[in-house]
Homo-oligomer: A and B are copies of this chain.
Amino acid sequence: MYSFRIIGEEQGCSARLGEIHTSPEAVLTPAFMPVATQGACKAISPLDLRRLGFKVLIANAYHLYLRPGTDVISSHGGLRRYMSWDGAVVTDSGGYQVLSLAKSRKITDEGVSFRSHIDGSEHFFSPATSIAVQESLGSDVMMCFDECPAYDSPYEYVEKSVSLTTRWAKLCKQAKQDGSGALFGIVQGGVYEDLRTRSAKELVDMDFDGYSIGGLGVGEAREATYEIIELCAGLLPRERLRYLMGIGTPADIVRAVALGVDLFDCVIPTRNARNGTLFTSHGKVVIKNSRYAYDRSALDDNCSCYTCGNFSRSYLRHIFMAGEILSLQLMTLHNLYYYSKLMREIRESIEKGTFRQFCSGLIDAEEE
């Protein structure tokens, strides 16, 4: 069971308010998905993710296939039960991870043979393998197996890569069983507009449940990122969900929402938290800075999260410097609260028709 409908649109830009129906529950968009690559979001429990208001997580087929193995997860009744998450689960196909993490990889038209980054064991992922893995995880929304070229790949390489991604998308669609999760095509094509256009059109012709924009935020110039997002969003059907993979900062997100993107995932809030970089309504805070040693104020006086309601910047700095795991927990909680609130405010502003004001205020603040 999967459907998506648009319930509101902002005048003067492409932002839209939508609703995804999945079997666990409905999810309002624009939405952000915390990253649970290995079936766990880093330094926060599923219960706390719920309390923060998140309704959908993203997990990874490559990682979970290698460890603990899909037989373990399917014997528990799927990933949602395995990780005790009662919301929806989106899975990435593993295409990106096979090519960025695995060793001795060899790409053919049929798929990728590789060695595990964990134990060196040999494996082969075809489009059909990826779909079977995602189905065994009980994914609500699956991704096609794709090839994501490095951002500085030459035109000729990316051209072949787009052909391969289209070929694999067809095979994924054929492999998918009736009654399993929704399946999204992933638009590739690097920074080349004609290749992005070709990729989008070929996937749209295949009529996927939704479309992802992949291969961005991988090192290309920031303005290229936005140009490609705008191009792709314009080529994708209005009534289907658009998911921008792996991006981004709060400013990236509001800019992409303005271009018509509905769904996001990114490690930034959780990874930055673990590095001591925190998002606040007054800009970023790098907690290890000695200026915070005696700072008795909350991390963000406009934030209602547990961390801001109970601990000073001084305390957060102290436990971070002292290597306390609690610092990772408290800062992860805060950054994810910030993202959850951001998405809620984006949705509310689209509903009220004030998104463009909200958007420019936030981008100006972040880019100062």
> Which residues from chain A sit less than 8 Å from chain B, CB to CB?
38-47, 67-68, 71-72, 75-76, 82-84, 293-294, 296, 306, 310-312, 314-315, 317-319, 321-322, 324-330
For the complex of A and B, 6 pairs with smallest distance between CB atoms: A84-B310, A68-B318, A43-B325, A40-B324, A40-B326, A38-B322
CA distance A281 to B144 in the complex (A): 46
Choose one: B75, B315, B317; the contact of A76 (CB below 8 Å): B315
Choose one: B38, B39, B294, B326; the contact of A45 (CB below 8 Å): B326
B326 and A43 form a contact (CB under 8 A): yes
* Chain B residues whose CB sits within 8 angstroms of the CB of A329 once the complex forms: 43, 45, 325, 329
* Chain B residues whose CB sits within 8 angstroms of the CB of A327 once the complex forms: 40
Choose one: B40, B84, B315; the contact of A83 (CB below 8 Å): B315
CA distance A46 to B324 in the complex (A): 13
* Chain B residues whose CB sits within 8 angstroms of the CB of A76 once the complex forms: 296, 312, 314-315
* Chain B residues whose CB sits within 8 angstroms of the CB of A41 once the complex forms: 326
CA distance A46 to B311 in the complex (A): 11
* Chain B residues whose CB sits within 8 angstroms of the CB of A324 once the complex forms: 38, 40, 42
Q: If A311-B84, A315-B39 touch, does A322 touch B72 (CB 8 Å cutoff)?
A: no
A-B contact pairs, 10 of them (CB 8 A): A40-B324, A41-B326, A42-B324, A45-B329, A45-B330, A47-B306, A72-B294, A76-B296, A82-B314, A82-B315
CA distance A82 to B317 in the complex (A): 12
Residue of B nearest to A310 (CB): B84
